[in-house]
Structures are given as C-alpha cells and as structure tokens.
Chain A
C-alpha cells in the first residue's frame, strides 16, 4: 500500500519537524543542527534539496509554511527563544545559480524569554497571522498588518498559562459560524495539573482570545496537537499526541443569544477514540487532507494510520516502520522497501516560487 522512499536528509542532528506546503509539492525539515532545509518534488517523484541554511542559534523545533497566497514563506521557531519568518527569493535570471533559491529572513520575533516550542500560521482567511508558544507557557498571537511587508509583525496578544506549552494548532474552519480557535498543548510533566490542552477562542467584542475549554481528561504531557481539516463540518475534530493518541470532537453549542457574543462559545467535548497501541510516548499526529486518516508516530519508531468507519469507530489500518520494513502483525502489509538513493542536489530545478514573470490574460 505504501512505498517508503528514504531521503538522505544530511542533517547533523535530530530532525524535529517535517512540514508539507499547501500544494504538497514542497517540504521543509528542521533540525537541532540549527538549519532548515527545503525539498522540492521533481516530476519523477524524487525529493531534491533546493535550499539549506542556518536559521537559528539553537535547535529548531518547528517549521511551517504560510499559505502560498502570501508568497513562499516559512516560519521557524527555536530553542534560541526566537521565531523567524523567511521568504524565498529566486535567483536572478542571469545568475549562474539560476533556479537556486535563497531564503531571506524577514523578521525575528524576540518576545519570548524561553525556548519557542511551536509556531503556526493562521488559516488564510484570517490574513497573515501566526501564533507562537513557548516553554514558559506564553502563547503569542502576531499579525502582519500589511501582507506585502513580511518584516513588520505586531504582537496582538499574549496569553500566559502556568504550564509550559509544547504545541499549538489553529482550527482550520473557515466558517463564519465558527470563531477563530487555537488549541495549545502543554508538555508539563506534572500530572497533578490536569487539563494539558487549552482551547482559546476569538471573542469579537473584545477582539481578544479567551479560554473556551480546558480538556481536563488530558493529564499527561502533550507533545503534539492537530485540528482535522474542517471541510464543511459543523464541529471540530482534534487529535492529541500524549502518552496515547486521542481524538476529540468539539461541538460548538449555538447560544440562544447569538448576537454580540461576549464570551466564548460553549463546546461540547466528546472523546471519539483513544489508543495506546504505540505503547510509549506519542510524539506526532497528522491528518490527511480529507481528514479521514490520522497518522501518529511514537517512541516505538512506527507510524500508525487510523481510520474511522461509518460508525465513527476508529481503527488502526496500517503500521509503517520508519525504515520501510514491514511490521509483523500489521493488518495491511505496509511499506515495500524500495529504497531510492538519496537525491542529488539538482540545482536547476525550476522553482514555483517568487513572483511570476509572465502572466496570462485573455487577449
């Protein structure tokens, strides 16, 4: 079902995050070696590294793409207490390095006093916004008032919680019925503090985010959190990576006096599924685009895929080993190892980035 294609990433330390862009043709990786690499998919499906540069003076925890409407833009966050926004500039046409892309730092967000553990862009319809969260428990919301000027970001709001934050996720819903929503997970190891996931909602009246929900049942450190793509649903689905994989359903309860809401929407929280198949810490969760499949990875070095049947019963449909070897006991025989050699640095890979030099119009 799946073919594993291994890529010689050539990072000098742990890779902490992998991120696909909006169209699924580019990939960014970040590592403790303080660098970020950008990979472009060639026509034959190979991934070629088109850029690699030092981004921070500490481990880079996360890297994330902005919507391509804003250009080819990446954000990264690091142990060095900063988050940075990068934009790709394609080499000049008469340049020897034609097609080689350069990434330019547009801004450094230096408000945090501790390690910045996650950075995420807001859904496109909200404009150019991003949030960061840091190890001292502060979540920050930034906005670029002028989308053409990536070097100017204003800090909209700071929300402190007592617990160190580890991950953050925007609700992708574009419905006007849903207020913008952010979920923040904490990796504080003290299980005495219950509620390691906080959900904040934008309040139109105050123009601020306020706490809407606290998932009290999550008491173990949370390492990753991901809203499922909304796709026209009336409710939200949230996956959480903690000591196990959990899937929550958040149903907004429509208030009677909907006009001029002064407080956050009440959410009805249901737990849809909970799996400890990894038998260890779960580090990452990720949804596919149609939000029918959830992938999780844990300390066991395996990726597990989860799928719901029509009854909303979630079941494991595949187990993938990181090196592509099949896993005994996997329901579907996954991962035929066909290890393609590491990609060469193909420099003349035309990049889709930058501003188009040619345009089409009906004549």
Chain B
C-alpha cells in the first residue's frame, strides 16, 4: 500500500500515479466528479462543495465553492458533474430544484455562472453532453427532463417521461442525439434530443426504482442499469427490443453503476443503503464480485473512475465524510477467499467431492502455495496475471463410493443386528457374539468375546471347548518355552495376584506408548504382534503359524497377555492373515460336536491330561482354577473397553458393557457409561437401526438413557367409526361401542402392527393397507379420503 505505482494510461502522454489514500471532508458527500485530466475532483453534498487536487500522496483542497455568509439552497447539491471538454465548467443539481452551472474561470470568489430554476422538485441528475460544450441535461423528481443550452437563459426543451420521478439521465457516448433516462417506476426510456414530444423507446428494466444507468464507453449498444431490486442489468440496445444480456445480483439496492475503463466486461457499483462497499463485477460471472473496496464506514454515494482510460484508480465519496482514492491492486478479491472445493464423508463411507474444474483437470490455473511447491523447481513458475483473470468457472461434483465388497460400514450394521445382548446365559451370549465377529472377519473382537466368557463364567459352567481347543493348538515346544519362561520368573504361585499386577503395569506402559507417544521411533519393533510375542517369549523361535496359534493360546490363558496382545492389534485388523489360520469358533464347534463331555472342573482336567505333557498340567492347573475371582479381571476389562471406545469402536464397548452387566458396571463411572451409550445410540439411529437402538436403551442401566424411550409415548387415536377421540381405556369406542381397531381391508380385529390414516382414522393391518394403497389411493374403508402412506 505504501509503495507507489505508476500506471501509464492509454493516452500515453499523461501518467497517473498515486496510492490508496483518503481525506476527511467536513460533511457527507452526495456526488463526486472528476475533471478531464484526472488531476482534480469535485465533491458535492448538502453542506459541502469543494474541489480537491489529486496529488501523489494526498488530497489537497484547492477550492471551496460554498461562499458567502449564508449559502443559499442552491449550494445544496444532489449531483455534480464536471464537463469533460471544458475544464472550467461544472454543473450541479440542487435539492431545491435548481440547476446551477459554475465557471471556475471567474475571477470573483463566487464562481456561480448560471441558475436555472425550472424544475419544481429536487433535481436528481445533471449530465453534460460528452462532446457538445453547451448542452446540459437534467432529470428531476418532478418527472421532467430538461435540456439546457448554456448560451441561453432557459431550457431549450423539456421531456416528459410521464412515468414518475427521473433518477438518472445519461447521454449516449456514441449516438450524438440519444440519451437514456431511468425512472422510479422501473422504466428506462430512450430519447432523441431533437424530439421532445415522445420517447424513442421505453422498457421496464427493474421491479422498483431504477436508480442509475451507464452507457458502455466502447460498446455503443450496451446500457447498464441498477435498481432497488438489487440487480444490475446490461441491455443490448442495438436490437429492436432492448435485450437483457447480463444480470448481476448484488446484495443491496444499486445506487450507482459505472463501467470500468478499458475493461469490456467490468463495472463498478455501490449501494444506497446497508452495504458500504464498492464492488467491481465481471458481468460474465455475475455471482461473485471481481473486486471489492471496503474502506468506507457509511454508504458510498459517489463513485467515479479517475481517468476515462485508466482502469486502476477509482474515486469515491461517502456519507461517512471521506473521499477515497482506491487502487485496484489494493482491492480485496472475494473469489480468492472463496472455497473452491466441498468435501463430505457420508454415513456409508462414501465421499462427496465438488471441486473447481480447473483444479481437477490440471495444474494450469493452480495457484502455487506461497511457500513454493517442492515438486517443481521454483523457476518453473510462471506467474499468470491473476489480477485480471476472472473467466467463468464451474465445479464438478462426484461421489466416491466405496465398492460393494469393502463397504466400510457394513460390519457395523451387521454386528448391531446380529449381536445378542440379552435373553440367554452369559456364556452363550459371548459365544454367539464371538461367532458373529468371526464371521465378519473381526478376529480380535471375536477373541475378546471368547476371553470374556472364560474370565467371567463360573468355573462350574465353564464349558470345555476352550481348554480343549488350547490343547489341540498348543504344541509341546511352545508349552515348554512358555513354562520355561514362567519358571524362570518364579514359582507358579507368583502367577497369581502379584503377577497379575506386574502385568497391569506393563499394560499401562504399553498403552501409554501406543496411544500417546506417536513419535516413537521403535514403531517397527512394536508393530503388530511379533514384537509383543518376542517380548513375552524371549528367544523362542517360532514360525508365523505357530505364533498365531500361540497367541490364541495365550489370549485364552492369560487375560493380561491377551490385553497386551489384542489392544495393539485391534487397530490393525487386516494386517495379518489371521483368517487363514485355524480359528477358534470353528474349533469350538467341532470340538463340541465330536466330544460330548460333561462340564466342570473334572472335564477340564480330563481333556487336558490326555493330550498334554505333565509340565502343562502343573501349570495349567492354577491358571484354570477357580481361585481367580472375576473381579480380578475387572480392571483389565475396563482398560479394554476404554481402549475400544478410544479406537472408535463404541459398539464393542457398549455391547460388552451390556452383556457383562453387573460384573463390570461398577468399575466404570456413570458418566463414561452414559457417554458410550449415547454415542452408540446416536450411531444406531444414523443407520436407522431403530430396533437395536431401542433394545440398547432398554438394556442400559443409566437412568439418563433408559428414560430416552419413555418420552412422547402418548398416541391420540380417533375412533374409525365415529371419528371422535378415543378414551385411553382400550380399543372399544365409548360412544359407538365399536371396536376401533378393525382392519378396513379384511374387517378382522388387528393384533400386532396397526397402521391408520391420520386424516380419516381408518386403518388396519400394515400389510393389507400397504397392498391396498399400491393399487388405490383412496381409503380402503370407502370414506373417499385420499390416504397417504409414507
């Protein structure tokens, strides 16, 4: 802004330079006008009439035309115009109806030259002929336009628009005899200056007043009009009927419109109220201003391009009593801040993406990031002249759909539908859910369910498949390495609580590492289960298959280890092809099938002993003994649930919470539980799983949740016979003593789902009504009502 800029104009000889600057006026301005050589500007208002010189750095007051001790109303200007041919000639339109001309060449202080008091009301506009020195046109609130010859004392001709007040008059730039006038009733008229009896052409340009019009400086046929309807319209006047060729929607009523010099498609507008900004529009892209000037604090009343061949300097006067010179390079460009892209993730993992076409198609118009694009050396950048680029743009909209096989949220819906949360013994619920998870390729979740079953089942009810399965999977060398390790750590008894506690610490450590320390350089080492396995097994040499089966084994045996193992891998479900390995549930079933066994401790020992070596027995005895009470696992499970929740699988957290019920509830504070429930219910409702959502609500123990489905449970029903409101005592109407719940299609009493029309109160079996309304739009009861089933 501080930097000076020099701009050579089309005139060549004269050079305009300057910067964005302003000066305070003593009073609000109503209009401004600039002299032909762009060195001076006149500001006119109700209480101001001054000429300022435009210097490089500032405005300098040159002359005050309001002279005399008590200035007459003739000084109160609604409009001012500086003659473009005669440097000393000015005209003003006074609010009292006078048209005044001023001759700056006069030696006296009072420069007033001529006074025409022919209009009866305020003169809104004065306009000099662009080439004729003595011809002046005025348009007034009284509905008349007058043409003055400055060599005569009174008007030469009067034009009656016969359509209300005149807001603007403008001589055509090219047609010597033509001028346009705009009116408060929305009309625009074209006149020939030689024929004051009748307009040449009239058309309705706007709804509401047309405040301004401006002829295109180069294109002879184009007229821009602006109205209170917030629109700027560009008319092609060369054809027989005025044709609207462009329309710009602005955000407030348009008070002034001025074509930008040397730019065919640009025009500047300012507003009459509300909006204080000046906008420059490219009419080819009528939705976003090409540039805005936001300096004024009150309504901008006058705008004028400083020089008729220079597009970079704009002068403006305002009701805030300032006069501004705006530099185009300092304008703000709304389009630069406009977002060229839209992006949204859908519920089912599909992605809607709208982007500017040029962004997608190539890098042609791409703006490099100021820091530079590292992909290309810096000298490849050719800076396009962005300042004047503003072609029509459009966006391409597309939806990326995740292909059917891998529909991303299907697992959620299926899991929600298939999980059993109540109604069966605990162990069966776990088994069922484990199976569901397994079938949906979620081995970790499945394992967790299995683990939960083992941890929380009464020893007496502990079904045998678990240990049996271990026995089959766990190979002897594994067992040995395991037992060696444990032996090394101490006696078997230390596997008890103390052991559990030390494991707890490890878990915390691991969780801490994995969740918080994302800069961990040893990612590779801890990634997946290998690292964990090594940590647990020391030097044991294992191939992959063994590793997994062993993991499985351990997850079944040690809850603590299982935690360490499942937690990290959960976020990584597909990395290892666990599915290729023998899977727990299948084995479970298989084993169940081919070994009908008694339950209980005895069975446990029995099935272990025949298969495994003596060392295993000695270890597994304490592990599977009922000496580990369920509460022992609670902290672990709590950690696990939190982990699932933090990983975004609130479904698992809530399902486990419900299935475990009292076993775990006290371990987790109510707020968290409520939070989980709320989140899960919200998700279910998004997927329109209303039944599941209701089940969850019913099964929850949080008071805040259970009350969710107890609001708005009242239904008001009308009797289908007499159409009166039913009492709440059942389905027999008080008045007509008929059963109100008779199906209108089959005439039987409906038991189950009853659907009825709220318009005519008739209804019936859901299926019947559905089928009926497929073929007919009328009520099945024959009442003639057009029922609607949505």
Contact = CB atoms under 8 A, between A and B. Distances in A.
B480 to A, nearest CB: 31
A296 B344 CA distance: 9
A289 B409 contact: yes
Given A284-B343, A363-B731, A176 B396 contact: no
Interface string A191-231: 00000000000000000000000000000000110000111
A300 B397 contact: no
Nearest to B375: A279
B351 interface: yes
Interface stretch (A126-134, A144-152, A320-328): A320-328
A292 B359 contact: no
Nearest to A233: B646
Interface string B121-139: 0000000000000000000
Given A57-B249, A176-B675, A279-B369, A358 B402 contact: no
A230 B756 contact: no
Interface stretch (A10-18, A101-109, A155-163, A259-267): A10-18
Contacts of B433: none
A106 to B, nearest CB: 20
A312 B514 contact: yes
A240 to B, nearest CB: 14
Given A283-B340, A359-B758, A9 B354 contact: yes
Interface in B687-712: 687-688, 704
Contact of B334 (A79, A223, A362): A79
Contacts of A231: 645, 648-650, 679, 683
A290 B342 contact: no
Nearest to A298: B341
Interface string B738-770: 000100000001111111111100010010010
A173 interface: yes
Contact of A16 (B338, B679, B682, B756): B338
A17 B355 CA distance: 9
Interface in B309-361: 334, 337-356, 359-361
A253 interface: no
B634 to A, nearest CB: 19
B346 A24 contact: yes
B674 A289 contact: no
Interface string B254-288: 00000000000000000000000000000001011
A363 B754 contact: yes
B401 interface: yes
A311 B766 contact: no
Of A16, A174, A232, the most chain B CB neighbours within 10 A belong to A232
A285 interface: yes
B355 A297 contact: yes
B777 to A, nearest CB: 8
A255 interface: no
A32 interface: yes
Nearest to B361: A323
B715 A2 contact: no
A124 B338 CA distance: 29
Contact of B788 (A47, A93, A229, A291): A93
A363 B788 contact: no
Given A9-B395, A323-B396, A45 B371 contact: no
B715 A295 contact: no
Contact of A15 (B334, B342, B409, B570): B342
A177 interface: yes
B240 interface: no
Interface string A252-291: 0000000000000000001011000001110111111111
Contacts of B348: 24
Nearest to B368: A280
Contacts of A17: 339, 342, 344, 354
B545 interface: no
Contact of B337 (A8, A31, A166, A352): A166
Interface in A17-71: 17-20, 22-25, 27, 29-34, 45, 47, 57-59, 61
B790 interface: yes
In terms of DSSP, what is the predominant structure of the interface of chain B?
A: mixed
A361 B371 contact: no
Interface in B640-693: 642, 645-650, 653-654, 671-672, 674-676, 678-680, 682-683, 685-688
Contacts of A246: none
Contacts of A295: 343, 345, 351
A347 interface: no
A18 B394 contact: no
Contacts of A283: 339-341, 343
Given A232-B645, A283-B341, A359-B715, A80 B251 contact: yes
A81 interface: yes
B484 interface: no
- For the side of the interface on B, what is the size category? 35 or more
B367 interface: yes
Given A2-B403, A15-B397, A279-B375, A312 B355 contact: no
A310 B249 contact: no
Contacts of B790: 350, 352, 354, 356-358
A284 B342 contact: yes
B230 A287 contact: no
Interface in B766-790: 766, 769, 777, 786-790
- For the side of the interface on A, what is the size category? 35 or more
A331 interface: no
Nearest to A114: B294
B288 A34 contact: no
Nearest to A31: B395
A335 to B, nearest CB: 7
B367 A32 contact: no
B394 A13 contact: yes
A335 B339 contact: no
A363 B750 contact: yes
Of B251, B398, B571, B757, the most chain A CB neighbours within 10 A belong to B398
Interface in B397-430: 397-403, 406, 408-409, 412
A94 interface: yes
B197 interface: no
B290 to A, nearest CB: 12
Contacts of A233: 645-646, 648
B588 to A, nearest CB: 27
Nearest to B249: A57
Contacts of A303: 343, 351, 353, 400
Of B520, B648, B753, the most chain A CB neighbours within 10 A belong to B648
A289 B683 contact: yes
B366 interface: yes
A61 B338 contact: yes
A297 B356 CA distance: 12
A9 B397 contact: yes
B155 interface: no
A5 interface: yes
Contacts of B340: 14, 16, 283, 299
B250 interface: yes
Given A17-B339, A290-B412, A5 B345 contact: no
Interface of A: 1-9, 11-20, 22-25, 27, 29-34, 45, 47, 57-59, 61, 79-81, 93-94, 115, 124-125, 135, 166, 173-177, 187, 223-224, 229-235, 243, 270, 272-273, 279-281, 283-293, 295-301, 303, 308-313, 320-324, 334-336, 350, 352, 354, 356-363
18 contacts: A5-B400, A9-B396, A23-B688, A24-B346, A29-B354, A45-B401, A59-B288, A79-B251, A176-B704, A232-B679, A285-B343, A286-B344, A297-B341, A303-B351, A310-B569, A320-B400, A335-B400, A362-B752
